[in-house]
Amino acid sequence: MDSADEMDILTLESSPENDAALRTKAEKVQKIGPEYKKITQEMFQLLRDGKGIGLAGPQVGRNERIFVTEVDKDQPRVFINPTIVGTSEETGKYEEGCMSLPGVFADVTRPLEIRVQAWNEKGRPFTLDAEGLLARVIQHENDHLEGILFIDRLSEPKRASILRKYHKKRHN
């Protein structure tokens, strides 16, 4: 997608193309040019408009390894080409939702603490140790870059039941 185009959030089952975009492993950003300032600004705008805390490239039709988070107001964070380099052994359950699956919420088990390496929109590398909600949202968004949705982390019966209800609601 050209950054001049209007960005929009893709939701599951809105079209076969959107589903494919959400289910594709995203590609590495080759060069973090000045256009990434505008791209991330647009992503933050969609995030705030939708009252979300994290949004990944594939969710806005960008097949590249980028996501933004804003867990605490006034603490926007950009992650380009991120790698989760460490996770705690201790895991915990917490209810997650996703802007690409409106109305769906479920408890997901994940490591409680992580270490992530990435680049920001200015092309500066950083390493971040995160815990709590920030650690969770980073893992959720990082999954999007692999074409993984949070419902994929649930047991198969739970996932099937959620998808059945989601499908029914969408098509009624």
* 3-state class (DSSP) for residue 42: helix
Which residue lies nearer to Ni ion by CB, 37 or 84? 84
Provide the terminal-to-terminal Cα distance of the chain, rounded to the nearest Å.
31
Shortest Cβ 134–Ni ion spacing (Å): 15
Residue 50 to residue 9: CA distance in whole angstroms: 9
Which sign does the torsion angle of CA 97, 52, 142, 10 carry? positive
Exposure string over 132-169, b if 16+ CB within 10 A, otherwise e: eebbbbbbbbbbbbebebbbebbeeeebeebbeebeee
Q: Of 64, 96, 121, 141, which residue is the catalytic one?
A: 141
Which residue lies nearer to Ni ion by CB, 39 or 98? 98
Residue 40's alpha-carbon distances to 35, 68, 79, in angstroms, are 9, 7, 10
Under 8 Å between Cβ of 54 and 137: yes
Under 8 Å between Cβ of 84 and 47: no
Shortest Cβ 140–Ni ion spacing (Å): 6
Which residue lies nearer to Ni ion by CB, 50 or 86? 50
Q: Which of residues 80-109 bind Ni ion (CB under 5 A)?
A: 98
Query: How many residues sit close enough to Ni ion to count as binding (CB under 5 A)?
Result: 1
Which residue lies nearer to Ni ion by CB, 54 or 119? 54
Shortest Cβ 66–Ni ion spacing (Å): 14
Q: Residue 109 corresponds to which tokens in the numbers above?
A: 């088990």
Shortest Cβ 114–Ni ion spacing (Å): 16
Q: Which of residues 24-63 bind Ni ion (CB under 5 A)?
A: none
Q: Which residue is closest to Ni ion by CB?
A: 98
Would you count residue 22 as binding Ni ion (CB under 5 A)? Answer: no
Active site residue 141: yes
Contacts with Ni ion by CB under 5 A lie at 98
Active site residues: 141
